[in-house]
Amino acid sequence: MSLPDTGDRGDIVVQVEFDPVNLPGVYTNWCGATGFNLQITNEVTSQKVGDCDNWGLPIQNQKNYGAQNVTASMDATWTAATHLHTSDWALNQKKLRTRIHFPNAIAGEVERYDGVALLTGLTLDGVGNVEGQPQTESVSLEYSGGLERTLKS
């Protein structure tokens, strides 16, 4: 029997080019992350066509790919350092490069996905709770131009 190699925390790391030192290409791990969801959806267009030679045959639907949409959402335990960056990202409507990094990838596997993300929603939850639970922060991202995939060489 052969079991699959499944991932644990640390096998996939979300990073953002918050650019704390004014050096493009410097990525910061998203501190406090507790869950990250990435969704790639492909638009499909449909056109009804009939047979050219035998007009009595049933009409067929031809399908083609249209635009691709990439979105993501992140849930995190609130941290002051990360909130400084996410609130700046949201309030100043920045477009930031993000990276989904697979640090343990081996040759031929996906090492990272890179793309430019717009932060479309920022939610703080648990503010002022009376039970001592940590505050949380959730963000919604939409990517401009999709993702670039890099394989480990």
Predicted pLDDT at 82: 86
Tokens of 117: 């993300």
Q: What is the pTM of this model?
A: 0.84
Domains of the chain, earliest start first:
13-151 (2.30.110)
- Three-class SS state of 63: strand
Contact 71, 143 (CB under 8 A): yes
pLDDT tens track of the chain, all 153 residues?
777 777 777 788 999 998 766 678 889 888 888 889 999 999 999 999 999 999 999 999 999 999 999 999 999 998 888 888 999 999 999 999 999 999 999 999 999 999 999 999 999 998 888 888 889 999 999 999 999 999 999
- The long-range contacts involving 48-57, CB below 8 angstroms and separated by at least 24 positions, are none
